[in-house]
Amino acid sequence: MYNRLCTVNQRLTQAILFIRHASNAAKDSTLAQNYCMNLVRQYDKENFLCTLLLKNPERRSALAIRAFNVEIARITGTVSDDKIGQMRLKFWEDTIDKLFKNDLKHVPEQPVIQELKNVIDGQNKLTKRYFQRLISARLNANLRFVTTKQMEEYAENSVCSVLYLLLEAHGVRNVHADHAASHLGKAQGIVNLLRSIPYQERRNVVPVPQEVLMQHGVSQERVLRNRKEDKGVEEVIFQLAGLAHQHLEKARKLAASIPKQAKPVLLPGVATGRYLERLRKANFHITDSRLLQKDAMLPLVIYWNHFRGKF
């Protein structure tokens, strides 16, 4: 009788410990999800609005991937020493390597890493190369381009790689979807660089290809000053905006060829297209006050396009 009672007590103790462990694990998982969601909402608002319209579990995966991208993108802007930035990026590079090797003993407890582990271990296997390209793009992100091809290559690595990962998280492996994501990522990447120009004066960086500046006889200093009466600068911005628009239109022309489940991943095309239209109305003056304000109608327009299956 005594032995039976001991056995029962042991089983009850094990059950209680298991429940507590499961409860703590669920709590930690919820905290990690919330951390990723808040990170993307704070630093990547437009893509956050698009991600909210995805269904779970793809939405959770998308937030983890975008939170990772935010983490590495913020490094160069938050450190004063390039070597420190390189060390932090090397940390993420090593972490991704360990996650794909399932070497979890040496992986730190960090919310984004915790969520990435779930994504990488998920049913839809992700490609390690795309994570590496995101990190490599930040390691070499001096944003000084000689040609428009170099600018497009930067957009391919820093934006398209995210879209490829999101497609994989949705279980989409389709050449037409990848092609559309490539063009859309280039359009979004070029627009991101244009939108960053008004804030680059402190860094003294002009993310405009030298060949475009030379074609219009415009110096980097003139781009940074960006006075309204400077037609040369407007022509430079017009040319780059035109290139972004071409990529966006190529992506949209592929819409009929891509799987239905891929289209929500491409919703960032809505925000990209709206910015280009607002830029056109501002006569390609990138510091126009209308462009520096938030697009109040964007959430509604994104939802409407999602409902229609458009991007």
Write the CB contacts of 109 (distance below 8 Å, at least 6 apart in sequence).
none
Domains along the sequence of the chain with CATH? 23-126+134-139 (no CATH), 142-310 (1.10.600.10)
Give the pLDDT of the chain (311 residues) as one tens digit per residue. 555 545 545 554 454 444 444 444 455 689 999 999 999 999 999 999 999 999 999 999 999 999 999 999 999 777 777 788 899 999 999 999 999 998 878 888 899 999 999 999 877 789 999 999 999 999 877 888 999 999 999 999 999 999 999 999 999 999 999 999 999 999 999 999 999 998 887 777 899 999 999 999 999 989 988 777 789 999 999 999 999 999 999 999 999 999 999 999 999 999 999 999 999 999 999 989 889 889 999 999 999 999 999 99
Answer for the pair 51, 62: CB distance below 8 angstroms, yes or no: yes
At 203 the pLDDT is 74
At 22 the pLDDT is 40
How big is the CA angle at 258 (ends 255 and 259), to the nearest 5 degrees?
125
The number of residues in the chain equals 311
CB atoms within 10 A of CB 189: 24
Write the single-letter amino acid at 146. Answer: V
CB atoms within 10 A of CB 10: 10
At 24 the pLDDT is 45
The pTM assigned to this predicted structure is 0.89
Write the CB contacts of 74 (distance below 8 Å, at least 6 apart in sequence).
43
